Structure 1
């Protein structure tokens, strides 16, 4: 074939298409119904029932709506189970707007500090381009949430409820991004005029005051102290008076965040198993705990997750939720759709190749609240609590086949007591620093 497409090539392509009658049938079905609806495999739904040998009782389904806060919702859904158990509650929610406020403010400071640290980088270079692209989007990681909780605590949803802006964050994010890019320009300009580091940080202080005001107007002022009143399963009235968010977390959630570690599965040649990794410029709270991952074979992620659920504790995890998943039935399985049969082609990239070539990465965080183990104790499907409300799946719950877990789950967060001695030692290694644009730096939304 020559460099350009010629009409003779088009004639050959058309002949190949028309040579197989199945292509005409597939075309008619797909044009009328869409790609996925034309090749949905009913057998996959039947093979992956919503019944599990291990199942953790969770609260009512939450809904992040038009925001990218899945990482917060998933973490708070894990944490609220501790409160529900301690207070004998049937259901409760922790405020998702509360950490959103602090995350935006901390990300603004994190971004501006990164700008100050990179003043000598060329404006047209890849680093500055990366920093300016998305200064404070909604997405995040477990360690970033842990830093927020360690500093600001948590509050019941009644203390800072959802609002129009928290449920639909695009406009707020856009305006904050405009201001931060303006502030980055101001800092770089001041540096070029010979201003000292002290003067730059003084300028940053006034910039953050503007961001704080915009956040208060958009989301409301976060509570410093509150009184929580509710009734338990036995209709007993409960009042917790005049408590700070930090005190509330310490007393009623009381998970030691230092005990929880992120395990990832990135089977690429540049990331050997058994090593720890961090990502340059990834974070939100300055002075907090840096993002840190231990890379392990996928079976090790499963073992740790199962051990934690056997103890009745849910598991935060991150995956590429859009791959081979059906929102209506709540199914995530490799055979959800027969795309190869529909298009008469194959999609052979493996997990490592998909990571290397930009075809897949972690996009969404959810909670594992169950798993089905066969007669040999081997998992074949997993129960997933999502944060998209009750309409998708079965009252908001999804089922994930074990082979889908292998291919599209990238991260689980577990208590380090469920790791082997060697793994616990490995997590304390000096982490290898990955480039900001590495796929393991992706944020769950």
Structure 2
């Protein structure tokens, strides 16, 4: 049924009959929606004091790139290294990780193209694979696979390039080249070329990607010497070490014993069940993606236990929802859009996911939690990677209600899982399609 003019006339008359609507229209036409809808009384009552807090070595800045998951992961590892080396300030190279993530993603993409070469080019699966050849985003399992294979590197030995900090153009060109490569490989399969011929061609194509990455990011060192002064002024030199050796010697955090735990309450996913996602990953031959889905209270309790024991917690969330960016506040009540528009927003966490209104967009690190007298969390302290000009010198405040609605994944040490959880973890995971919301990657900038 089409819209009739009489319908529009009625809508207009009803709108103009409310002074509140006119005031709202005038206010919104001259300012940001977030500014107009700011819940001032609520915002000014938020305290940034936490009962339990872990000191970290400052805020990093991913700039105009989607490497939040990588920054968050490296920020966890740097604390372990800095403690062992007795350093006040320390940062790991995100460019080093980015180089190998891109080449691994390129290989993963081309392998996926070969595997699906006989699928319809216009089908949903192939179109999905072609849509995101080498995006910046990633997941905890992708981070750990990278670190296990390539180790880590002090940042001063491979600093940021312009392209790593502002990656859109590089990514666009890489995507175009890889889609061309996909066309070549699909044609080879169509013509009945041998596996050996296809693999030989793929190696050629990967060398081209390696050249493009090297020009944009620089060549990562295979071995390095590292000189530094500790916080007591003592000079040290580490000679002829590889990034993998450096990782194994100085990172004491049990990264290989960390588990990705999710809270996804949609009807198609059972709690106390493991899941993986088709065609989501970077390192062929790595452990890949595996989630353990838990109820919200169990999920939250694991994050709380980690922090209370002095452990930082890597997590993903939908950061674009109810966020005051400048003040660094994540709170379900920070804006009163319902009063502004005279409507209700009815989605809960499950329906928000099911109807495409939410997904994992950003990875950060929990560094603190505020516990009330009954032992319940009231708010969480968050280390972000958007520089130190936002929030409290780069740290964000998250209300517990925001955690409930928009936090989807935390990486926890397996030792914190119950016996029943550990048993479930050994089960073969259910495969989710690539377009499932749990197949999203953290990429926000």
Answer whether TM exceeds 0.5 for this pair.
yes
* Unaligned stretches of 5+ residues in structure 1: none
CA distance in structure 2 between the partners assigned to 1:366 and 1:112 by the alignment = 30
Does residue 1:218 correspond to 2:216, yes or no? Answer: yes
Does residue 1:203 correspond to 2:189, yes or no? Answer: no
- In structure 1, the partner of 2:261 is 263
- Runs of 4+ residues over 3 Å off in structure 1: none
- In structure 2, the partner of 1:419 is 417
CA distance in structure 2 between the partners assigned to 1:305 and 1:236 by the alignment = 37
Displacement of 1:206 in angstroms is: 0.4
Question: What per-residue deviation string (whole Å, max 9, x for no partner) do you get for residues 375-429 of structure 1?
Answer: 1111000000000000110100000000000000000001011111111111121
Question: What per-residue deviation string (whole Å, max 9, x for no partner) do you get for residues 79-120 of structure 1?
Answer: 101011111111100000001000000000000000111111
Does residue 1:103 correspond to 2:101, yes or no? Answer: yes
Displacement of 1:240 in angstroms is: 1.5
Please give the residue correspondences for 1:334-353 in structure 2 after superposition, counting only pairs within 5 Å: 334-353=332-351
Q: In structure 2, the residue corresponding to 1:282 is in which secondary structure? A: coil
Preserved CA contact (<8 Å) 2:94 2:155:
yes
CA distance in structure 2 between the partners assigned to 1:359 and 1:312 by the alignment = 34
CA distance in structure 2 between the partners assigned to 1:114 and 1:59 by the alignment = 39
CA distance in structure 2 between the partners assigned to 1:164 and 1:326 by the alignment = 28
How much is the aligned-residue C-alpha RMSD, in angstroms? 0.9
Q: In structure 2, the residue corresponding to 1:210 is in which secondary structure? A: helix
Displacement of 1:34 in angstroms is: 2.2
* Unaligned stretches of 5+ residues in structure 2: none
Displacement of 1:202 in angstroms is: 0.6
Question: What per-residue deviation string (whole Å, max 9, x for no partner) do you get for residues 242-270 of structure 1?
Answer: 11000110011133322100000110000
- In structure 2, the partner of 1:253 is 251
Q: In structure 2, the residue corresponding to 1:444 is in which secondary structure? A: coil
Preserved CA contact (<8 Å) 1:44 1:333:
no
CA distance in structure 2 between the partners assigned to 1:300 and 1:248 by the alignment = 35
Q: How many residues align?
A: 443
CA distance in structure 1 between the partners assigned to 2:45 and 2:437 by the alignment = 32
Please give the residue correspondences for 1:24-423 in structure 2 after superposition, counting only pairs within 5 Å: 24-423=22-421
Preserved CA contact (<8 Å) 1:370 1:382:
yes
Question: What per-residue deviation string (whole Å, max 9, x for no partner) do you get for residues 303-344 of structure 1?
Answer: 111111122110000000010010111100000101000000
CA distance in structure 1 between the partners assigned to 2:437 and 2:241 by the alignment = 40
Displacement of 1:50 in angstroms is: 1.2
CA distance in structure 1 between the partners assigned to 2:370 and 2:131 by the alignment = 42
Displacement of 1:47 in angstroms is: 3.2
Preserved CA contact (<8 Å) 1:53 1:372:
yes
Question: What per-residue deviation string (whole Å, max 9, x for no partner) do you get for residues 146-201 of structure 1?
Answer: 00000000000011101101001111111111111111110111112220111100
Q: In structure 1, the residue corresponding to 2:180 is in which secondary structure? A: helix
Displacement of 1:233 in angstroms is: 1.8
Q: In structure 2, the residue corresponding to 1:15 is in which secondary structure? A: helix
Preserved CA contact (<8 Å) 1:62 1:389:
yes
Q: In structure 1, the residue corresponding to 2:367 is in which secondary structure? A: strand
Displacement of 1:44 in angstroms is: 2.7
Q: In structure 1, the residue corresponding to 2:159 is in which secondary structure? A: coil
Q: In structure 2, the residue corresponding to 1:172 is in which secondary structure? A: helix
Normalising by structure 1, we get a TM-score of 0.98
Normalising by structure 2, we get a TM-score of 0.98
Preserved CA contact (<8 Å) 2:254 2:413:
no
- In structure 2, the partner of 1:19 is 17
